[in-house]
Amino acid sequence: MTRRPLTTLVSALLLIACATGPALAQSDPSKITGPEACIACHKLEGAAWQEMKHFKTFDELHRRPEAKDIAGKLGIANIKNESTCVQCHYTSMGAAGAAKVIAGVSCELCHSAGADWTKVHNVKENANHIADAEKLGFISPGNIYKLASNCFQCHTIPNEKLVNTGGHQVGSALELVAWTQGEMRHHFLGGKTNTEATPDRKRMLYLVGRVVDLEYSLRGIAGAVERGAFVQGMNRRIASATAELQKIADKLPDGAAKTDVLAVIAAAVKPAAAADGTGLKITNKDAVLAGAKTISDLGQKMSATYKGTDLAALDSLLPTANQGTPFTAP
């Protein structure tokens, strides 16, 4: 296979344009039950959450100098009342038009608003209680693609004004293995031990996470309308995610997994936009989003059908250090 240089990819994707970025899949505030409803059964998970930055955001974010600086540049008086900030940093609860911020990033922002599925999820006597809850909107830890999507839709910051005008960073250096096995780890279903993911699950987290990172970086840049920090940052994300996926493809033996990863890379290269020296020459929102859709389909296929046992070749790529320290139950 002839590998396209990453510098060419960055140039090709430099000026992709459309009106706005993708809408975030924010949990419906009218169906939020609140973290206390989850903690009632998941006490240790709740204790772990209360040590996370996701929890501490509620009391700390609006006090941070960098947050005040971004808010000032955007003309935002209170970030807890501004949807641009609330949609990623806070949990809102209540009827339409009357929702109130009740917490930082909490259970239902990751696993979806629970009003429709909580009771089904709780019926342990039903052997299919998790699958039945998923049909009603529950995002299970077993569905790595959906879980990763909920992470990356915020951690790629698909908002050009927020970056170019507000000075917000364009995203986080999120890698699912390191991040889910560090401070974010809260897996107590087997008892009091905060259980580390198995090698097989880590392989799946790594692969699907890299795919979803590329998907949402493409979705984000589809919203760009001008040169600036946002486009530059998104291009760096696209180049980095593509490079990591190429490393994965190089490690995998010939077969379905390798073929699918190469197809993901190809889908990112296809929607290249032409530009002249004066600025945007064409817009190709449809091509960019079509590429992201192809990557989404492949990511969902990988999440649903691949097994970690098939991905042992990736072990040398897995991170050896976690993002933060896992919570230990008292």
pTM metric for this prediction: 0.89
The pLDDT assigned to 197 comes to 97
The 3-state DSSP class for residue 15 equals coil
Q: How far apart are CA 201 and CA 203, in angstroms?
A: 5
Q: Which residues have C-beta within 8 Å of that of residue 312, sequence separation ≥ 6?
A: 203
Residue 217: what residue type? S
The pLDDT assigned to 16 comes to 33
The backbone torsions φ and ψ at residue 260, rounded to the nearest 5 degrees and listed phi first, read -65, -40
- The CA-atom distances, in angstroms, between 307 and each of 247, 286, 295, 316, 322 are 19, 33, 19, 17, 23
- The CA-atom distances, in angstroms, between 276 and each of 15, 31, 209, 227, 264 are 10, 48, 34, 12, 27
Q: What are the start-end ranges of the H helices in 125-197?
A: 129-135, 144-155, 160-164, 176-180
DSSP 219-257: HHHTT--SSSHHHHHHHHHHHHHHHHHHHHHHHSPTTHH
- The CA-atom distances, in angstroms, between 181 and each of 35, 48, 144 are 21, 12, 14
pLDDT digits (tens), the chain, 330 positions: 344 444 334 333 333 323 333 444 457 899 999 999 999 999 999 999 999 999 999 999 999 999 999 999 999 999 998 888 999 999 999 998 889 999 999 999 999 999 999 999 988 889 999 999 999 999 999 999 999 999 999 999 889 999 999 999 999 999 999 999 999 999 998 789 999 999 999 999 999 999 999 999 999 888 788 878 998 898 889 999 999 999 999 999 999 999 999 999 999 876 544 333 434 333 577 788 899 999 999 999 999 999 999 999 999 999 999 999 999 998
Residue from 186, 180, 220, 182 nearest 204 by CA: 180
